[in-house]
Amino acid sequence: MYCDGQLISGQRFPSPHPSVELSVITYWAGGLKVKGLLAEPAGKVAGDGFLYLRGGMKNAGKVRPGRIIQFACEGFIVFAPYYRGNEGGEGNEDFAGEDRIDAFAAFKFIENHPRVKRVHIFGFSRGGVMALFTGLQFPRAASLVTWGGVSDMFLTYEEREDLRRMMKRVIGGTPEKYPQRYYDRSPLFHLENLQVPVLIIHGKKDRHVSVEQAHRLESRLKLLNKEVECWYFSDFTHYFPPKENRRVVRNLCQWMKQKSKGRGRWQEK
């Protein structure tokens, strides 16, 4: 009998960094065998887990080892699910529908890692939706960061004409004809029970995910008296310049570590 987040197998993956070990993991999620990439700082020191939820769809926005290693170099044990139907995993990715179970199961997987004592959630682009739903599912998470993240699928459909065909196919129609399906995929409307502190990072010149997505999320969280901090960057788009990217990564990792200290005493396993 399978259990969500249960390890099926792990296989070493070549790492370009001498101090970070990479493995391709196969784990159970909703009865499917789903794959993801695990990055572990060398050694046996316990630390924080980091659930990296990528953006895009299928081959657009694939998990990149170099990106995962960035966070592992900050001391985190990082797990990035590929989502169902990708890289040999079973099922079909469906743009924050049933595939959000892959994120929930990935949280359980990294939480059960023998070196992990607390888990942070990070979502980039479409991964922002996955991160927010995961934060709702697991109020014990230490923190949540959404970077260039989607929060409202209605707005995504409105703004991204190039994605409409895919969204109609995967979601099953337009927002006008099936509003409930888009409502169910929009965490913006489901935040009442969120207990995890949130950091919003967004470039104001972002044309992939408009800054309005961040503004709506910020406003909604503040209206509900949730803990939220926002870092807006006037000159940046969806992708930050390498130097600034590294700086923001360092800063957000420090923010996460500070939130760990404020989330109560770690429980020994």
- Per-residue pLDDT band for 266 (boundaries 50, 70, 90) equals very low
- What pLDDT was estimated at residue 2? 87
Paired tokens of 146: 């959404």
Paired tokens of 140: 């014990």
Q: How far is CA 269 from CA 46, 114, 117, 264, in A?
A: 11, 8, 8, 15
Question: What percentage of the chain exceeds 70 in pLDDT?
Answer: 97
- What pLDDT was estimated at residue 269? 33
What is the residue-averaged pLDDT of the chain? 95
User: What digits encode the pLDDT tens for the residues 223-243?
Assistant: 999 999 999 999 999 999 999
- Evaluate whether the domain defined by 7-261 bears CATH number 3.40.309.10: no
Nearest to 209 by CA among 135, 129, 121: 129
The helix or strand, by DSSP H or E, that contains position 199, with its residue range, turns out to be strand 198-203
Task: List the single range of 32-36, 46-50, 168-172, 258-262 with lowest mean pLDDT.
Answer: 258-262
What pTM was estimated for this model as a whole?
0.96
Is residue 133 within 8 Å of residue 150, measured between CB atoms?
Answer: no
- Per-residue pLDDT band for 263 (boundaries 50, 70, 90) equals low
Query: Which of the residues 125, 143, 186, 210 is marked catalytic?
Result: 125
Contacts of 220 (CB under 8 A, 6+ apart): 151, 188, 191
Place of tokens 């994120």: 103
Query: Which of the residues 17, 190, 215, 238 is marked catalytic?
Result: 238
Is residue 243 within 8 Å of residue 233, measured between CB atoms?
Answer: no
Over residues 129-139, the mean pLDDT reads 98
Known active-site residue 143: no
Nearest to 203 by CA among 121, 146, 156: 146
Known active-site residue 238: yes
User: What digits encode the pLDDT tens for the residues 6-60?
Assistant: 999 999 999 999 999 999 999 999 999 999 999 999 998 999 999 999 999 998 9
